[in-house]
Structure formats: structure tokens, C-alpha cells
């Protein structure tokens, strides 16, 4: 479920980075006064989840595999605030050291695997179903429901983020149909592992009973805010045209305020001087020659997002030259560094 930077557009990645950072800052403040958030416990559980996430188990009948996410276990053992912090630290180590999950995608990954599991699934689903003094069977059912919520909720969030970014061509409904059954199966496995591990722990290490005073209300507030903001942001940051552009295009007219006069001149100036008008290279003579001229007729009339000479393989030869230059520069720098080291 680890998202890489390549799957997210800049607005979606930035928005989730901001949401997760804000939620983690609030969690850090709450955890500082939470007796369950003991540093040694958090450290060991972080190392444990980190190791457990590296072991993939295959999901029978789907041909895919999944891994333990750990949000439910952490929130049950050290509370939701510390649990979210531990997952965030695990994801930071994985992104930095193992290239598992991107740097900018860290916020989205914390949201999908940490915030949904620790701040939604356990405090709202588990506590709601288990009640204050659950029997063994009821506790198991509540853990299973919380694990399923965490995994399916995380998968749904991945689908929304990917679709809003517009970099893959999978339609939302098809992608969701692909993701949700697989992650429901992973959720069952996660629930079984969580139950098995919790029941093998001695009493002193297990769930420390009732949540902190007013914890439910605070968690619900943070979770609801994060989910609403994330939903709004995903919609607003979508790669599709924004509401105004869409409405104007549907009406087939250009607003009077944008026609003629100063506006027209400003737009003309902008298109001439912007470094990358419409996130694209400016038209150059190169674009109409070589590979580019062969491509010119290939693109359909109004593709969206468009594939054009500036943004695709028009400069294939140029790209190879630049890449070779980069490698050459690297060689030169390496020689210089070795020379300095010898000196």
C-alpha cells in the first residue's frame, strides 16, 4: 500500500503532506501527556512493525500479496496518538532507507496506513464494538472489524489519491474494484495476526484498558477533520479542469471579462514570457522537425491531458544527450572527489 512519488501529482502530495503533518503535530501534543506513550515501548513497537511490514504474505485466489500494516496493533497497545507517531516514524525510515514509499508521498502514506488505522479504526470502530469490558469473542470480532476498516479505508484512500492525481489511467470504479477485495483479504490477515500477537502477550503488555479522558471526542474531531479536508482536497486538486474552466467549456463561451483589452494583452504577454506555459515547453523549431514532425499527426484532435511534442518524446535525441552529459558530469565529479581525497 506504500504510495511512491511517481503516483501522486504535486497538489495531492502537498495537500496530504500538510494534513498528515498537522494531525501528527496534534498527536505529538496529546502523546506527550499520555501515560501509554512510553518511549521504550514506542521504540520497540516501531522496530517490530518496521520488521513485520517487510514480510509479504500471499493472498490465496488473487495472485497478489500484502503485508501487515500494524496500525490496529499499535493503537491498542500504546493508544491512538502514539500509534500514529510510530507508524509515521516507520514510514519515514522506509522511505529514506529502503525507497519504499516516496518522500513527498510520505504524507499520503501516513494518512492511509497510520491515521485511518490509529485515529479511525481503533478509537471509533474497535472501542464502539468492544465496549468497556469485552468478552474474548467480542474483543476478537472488534479487532477484526477494526483491521478490516483500516485496510479497506486505506485502500480507498489510495484509490482516491491516485485518481485525483490523474497519472494512472485506471478509472476510479475499476481501480476500487481491484483494490478493495484484495485489501479486504489483507485486512482479515491483519486482524488474525493482531489477535494472535495480542493474545500471546503477557497481561502487562496488553491493552491498558479504558482510553484517556475525552480521548474519543478528540480523536473523532481530528479524524473527521482529516477525512473531510482530505476529501475536499482530493476533489479540488484533481487533475481535471477546475469548476470555472469546466463550466466555461460546457457553455462554449469565453467570459466577457477575459476577452480583449488589457486581459487579452496580459495573457499574450504571459504566454510569450512564461518559462513553461501550461506546464509545457514553449514551442521551438525543434518541435517541428525529426521525431517531432512524425509525431505531429499522431496525436488526436483534443486529447486531454494532451500528448504533444513538447512534453513527450519529441526531444528523444536531446534527452539522451542530456542524460549522457549528466553521467559524464558525475564521472568528472567522482574523479575530482577522489583527487581531493588523495590530497
Partner 1 sequence: MNAGAWSGLQELDRLAAGHSWLHRLDPLVKLLLGLGFAVAVVSVPKYALPSLAPLLMVPVLMAALAGFEPLPLLARAWPAAGVALMLGAFNPLLDPQRVDVAGCQVSAGWLSLAVMLAKALLVAGMALVLVASSGFARLADSLGSLGAPHIFVQQLQLLWRYAGLLAEESDRLKRARDLRDPLARARGPRLAARLIGGLLARSLARAERIHQAMLCRGFRGSLPGAALRPWGPQDWAALAGGCGLIGACRFLPLVPWAQQALERIQP
Kindly identify the residues of this chain, within the stretch 4-43, that bind partner 1 according to CB under 8 A.
4-10, 13, 24-25, 28-29, 31-32, 37-43
- Quick one: DSSP state of residue 258? G
Query: Rounded to the nearest 5°, which phi and psi values hold at 76?
Result: -75, -35
User: For partner 1, which stretch binds (CB under 8 A), given 140-148, 213-221, 245-253, 296-304?
Assistant: 296-304
Among 35, 60, 252, 300, which residue interacts with partner 1 (rule: CB under 8 A)?
300
Take residue 337 and report the three cell numbers written for it. Answer: 572527489
Among 72, 149, 162, 234, which residue interacts with partner 1 (rule: CB under 8 A)?
162
In 3D space, the residue among 81, 72, 75, 106 whose CA is nearest the CA of residue 26 turns out to be 81
CB of 191 to partner 1, least distance (A): 13
CB of 152 to partner 1, least distance (A): 18
Among 18, 51, 224, 249, which residue interacts with partner 1 (rule: CB under 8 A)?
51
Count CA atoms closer than 13 A to 43's CA, side-chain side. Answer: 3
Among 224, 228, 236, 325, which residue interacts with partner 1 (rule: CB under 8 A)?
325
Burial 200-222 (b: 16+ CB within 10 A, else e): eeeeeeebeeebbeebeebbeeb
62-101 positions binding partner 1, by CB under 8 A: 85-86, 88-90, 92-93, 95-101
Q: Please say which residue, 41 or 184, places its beta carbon nearer to partner 1.
A: 41
Neighbours of 187 (CB within 10 A): 27
209-268 positions binding partner 1, by CB under 8 A: none
Q: Please say which residue, 170 or 184, places its beta carbon nearer to partner 1.
A: 170
Q: Please say which residue, 7 or 122, places its beta carbon nearer to partner 1.
A: 7
In 3D space, the residue among 176, 305, 163 whose CA is nearest the CA of residue 241 turns out to be 305
Identify the residue whose cell numbers are 472488534. Answer: 142
Amino acid at each position: 500500500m506504500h504510495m511512491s512519488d511517481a503516483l501522486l501529482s504535486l497538489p495531492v502530495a502537498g495537500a496530504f503532506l500538510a494534513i498528515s503533518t498537522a494531525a501528527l503535530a496534534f498527536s505529538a501534543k496529546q502523546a506527550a501527556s499520555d501515560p501509554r506513550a512510553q518511549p521504550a515501548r514506542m521504540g520497540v513497537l516501531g522496530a517490530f512493525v518496521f520488521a513485520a511490514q517487510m514480510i509479504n504474505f500471499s493472498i490465496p485466489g488473487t495472485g497478489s500479496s500484502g503485508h501487515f500494516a500494524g496500525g490496529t496493533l499499535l493503537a491498542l497497545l500504546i493508544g491512538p496518538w502514539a500509534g500514529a507517531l510510530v507508524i509515521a516514524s516507520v514510514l519515514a525510515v522506509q522511505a529514506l532507507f529502503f525507497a519504499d514509499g516516496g518522500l513527498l508521498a510520505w504524507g499520503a502514506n501516513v494518512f492511509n496506513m497510520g491515521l485511518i488505522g490509529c485515529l479511525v479504526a481503533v478509537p471509533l470502530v474497535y472501542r464502539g464494538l468492544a465496549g468497556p469490558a469485552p468478552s474474548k469473542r467480542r474483543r476478537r470480532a472488534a479487532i477484526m472489524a477494526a483491521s478490516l476498516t483500516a485496510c479497506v479505508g486505506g485502500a480507498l484512500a489510495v484509490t482516491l489519491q491516485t485518481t485525483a492525481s490523474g497519472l494512472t489511467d485506471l478509472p476510479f470504479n475499476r481501480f476500487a474494484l481491484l483494490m478493495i477485495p484484495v485489501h479486504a483479504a489483507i485486512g482479515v490477515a491483519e486482524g488474525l495476526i493482531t489477535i494472535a500477537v495480542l493474545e500471546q502477550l503477557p497481561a502487562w503488555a496488553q491493552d491498558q484498558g479504558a482510553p484517556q479522558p475525552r480521548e474519543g471526542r478528540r480523536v473523532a474531531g481530528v479524524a473527521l477533520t482529516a477525512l473531510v479536508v482530505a476529501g475536499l482536497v482530493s476533489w479540488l486538486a484533481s487533475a481535471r479542469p477546475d469548476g470555472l474552466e469546466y463550466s466555461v467549456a460546457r457553455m462554449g463561451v469565453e467570459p466577457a471579462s477575459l476577452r480583449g483589452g488589457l486581459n487579452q494583452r496580459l495573457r499574450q504577454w504571459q504566454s510569450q514570457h512564461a518559462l513553461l506555459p501550461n506546464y509545457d515547453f514553449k514551442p521551438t523549431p525543434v518541435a517541428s522537425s525529426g521525431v517531432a514532425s512524425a509525431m505531429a499527426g499522431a496525436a488526436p484532435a483534443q486529447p486531454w491531458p494532451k500528448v504533444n511534442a513538447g512534453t513527450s518524446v519529441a526531444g528523444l535525441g536531446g534527452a539522451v544527450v542530456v542524460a549522457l552529459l549528466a553521467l559524464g558530469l558525475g564521472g568528472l565529479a567522482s574523479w575530482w572527489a577522489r583527487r581531493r581525497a588523495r590530497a
